[in-house]
Amino acid sequence: MNLPSSPGPIGIFDSGYGGLTILHGIRQLLPEYDYLYLGDNARAPYGPRSFDVVYSFTRQAVLKLFEMGCHLVILGCNTASAKALRSIQQNDLPQWDGHRRVLGIIRPTAEAIGSLTQSRHVGVLATEGTIRSKSYDLEINKLHPDIEVTGVACPFWVPLVEYHEADGPGADYFVKKRIDEVMRKDPEIDALVLGCTHYPLLMPKIVKYLPTGVRIIPQGEFVAGSLKRYFERHPDMEEHCSKGATVRYLTTENPETFKEQAQVFLHEDVFVERIELE
């Protein structure tokens, strides 16, 4: 397989728009790099889909980003990180190009969690697919065996964000319901992971209903810090990431729809191109 060898942008992939919160966090810390964001909006959401389907879709997206010059791709999607990352790292990368890398967003959060909880009881709110995969449980317990993890799926939270209802009164019911559920399952929780990249846009509602003393853990800042440390450990990969401070946006759906949604996540106008994955 002939892939471009000259330095290229850092690829960031998500099934939809939530990965824009990851992109935003990374750009805040590492603004000098070029970025290529790909949203598979035509086939979103990934959350309810099977492992095999998520793996197939994610594999297509990663390969597309490699073909477009990326040497490093970050799966800015919890579902893809949970269901596809390991298979791509173990099965596909050795065949495609042993020098390319694909990173997920679950491990950086798991690495940070040890210093963020005093009670050693942690809650995870995420999509059904991420909760069912138990990826957070496995990653956190691998690094911190003493931490008790309790997960709750929040199936209506993503639509609330994407249909611009995050600030509406209807969101209160669904946010309160899931927070009450996770705290009822384990009242000792003192740190709550937002295990979906859409959820930070519900932050005012989450803060409103979360018990006093429970810390909220969004992912963007931890992924950005982890990437910075990754570059320090792997200067060869850092050299393959171009530095022009540019961002390019791709979607498999309507560019105008993506542009409208991107304003919700990024608060800026963006130029978007449509592509197809196969």
H helices present in the chain, as ranges: 19-29, 51-67, 78-83, 85-87, 93-96, 106-113, 128-133, 135-143, 157-162, 169-185, 203-209, 220-233, 235-239, 255-266
How many angstroms separate the CA atoms of 77 and 106, rounded? 9
Active-site choice (70, 77, 154, 241): 77
Can you tell me whether residue 129 is helix, strand or coil?
helix
Active-site choice (70, 154, 196, 241): 196
- For residue 174, give the nearest of 146, 209, 143 by alpha carbon: 209
| 241 in catalytic set | no
Beta bridge partners of 274: 251
- For residue 220, give the nearest of 202, 245, 200, 243 by alpha carbon: 200
Q: Which H helix or E strand runs over 149? A: strand 148-153
How many angstroms separate the CA atoms of 75 and 148, rounded? 26
DSSP 52-111: HHHHHHHHHHHHHHHHTT-SEEEE--HHHHHHTHHHIIIIIHHHH-TT-EEE-SHHHHHH
How many angstroms separate the CA atoms of 230 and 1, rounded? 26
| 154 in catalytic set | no
**Upstream peptide bond of 211 is cis (omega within 30 degrees of 0):** no
* Residues 196, 112, 103, 250, Cα dihedral to 10°: 40
Beta bridge partners of 122: 149, 191
Number of alpha carbons in the 13 Å side-chain half-sphere of residue 54: 26
Active site residues: 77, 196
